[in-house]
Structure 1
């Protein structure tokens, strides 16, 4: 249901960052309008996309990367995607700094091999992480993405940092991102070396 973001009626999601990723990977152009809460506690936000690239974001009095950083962390909320937006009052002069590329942030999903029994469950690699270990971010998502881009790391690293919420264990991240245990082990090791995350074993 979450993938159907072109309907004019509002839909509910438990993970707004997943909806943002879907729009990016499908290279859509339009405006994602989101809201949560009611009455005086209501929050309304908007994110604009051009060919999957984020070009503006606003929530309350926040705009640009600050607004995007807030909304990426939203859980349950209502969203509507309005396609083919070309201009808008919130349009900025260029892409938000963390989204310089027009190609999707996430690679096409693929099925990962099921975990085999026998040996203790770990993400394979020289410095393997137990599948029950929980990665936690040590900085804001926007700052982390800036470090990842400066280091010239692949887009998959940005997908992982978007998925890390301090609750999902390594095994859950492997399933949600559909990468191999070896890939996840390498990514987490690199992110930890860059002090973007720490992995609680």
Structure 2
């Protein structure tokens, strides 16, 4: 995290206390973008505990590469805890990576292009694409309003009533944190952990 990012977010009247409490954070690119994208799909619409259990089973039983996912029997993927729908989704991602999508090609794109490229894959939505931008490509200015943790963090730091803030208002409030909204997102998540 740059000194400028830390200083700016720490001086924010709403987020500053959380920044002060947790100190500087870093965004680190993922070593294995394909695996991280598969894990993001596993995590969709699940509790943290359930997602971790399924992820651990998957990593233990299947080689999480495009070739490994495509070679794995569907029953093995389901036995790991993936629904039929998610089996299809992770296979769609494997197909896309075998067809030429790569960390290098995605890294060369701007944020909107990455979201467009990823959301062309059936099973990858805006939330997953934005998580990829933050946790895989380490982009500094992404704000995933689709994320429940971000919503809860916004409620916490701004004092909103539960579920009373719209995505539009969240985006508007987060403008103050540009160009460091990915860091702000991490602080919001930490504010409710």
TM-score normalised to the size of structure 1?
A: 0.26
Higher relative contact order (CA 8 A, sep 6+): 2
Relative to total residues, which structure has the larger strand share, 1 or 2?
1
Relative to total residues, which structure has the larger helix share, 1 or 2?
2
TM-score normalised to the size of structure 2?
A: 0.27
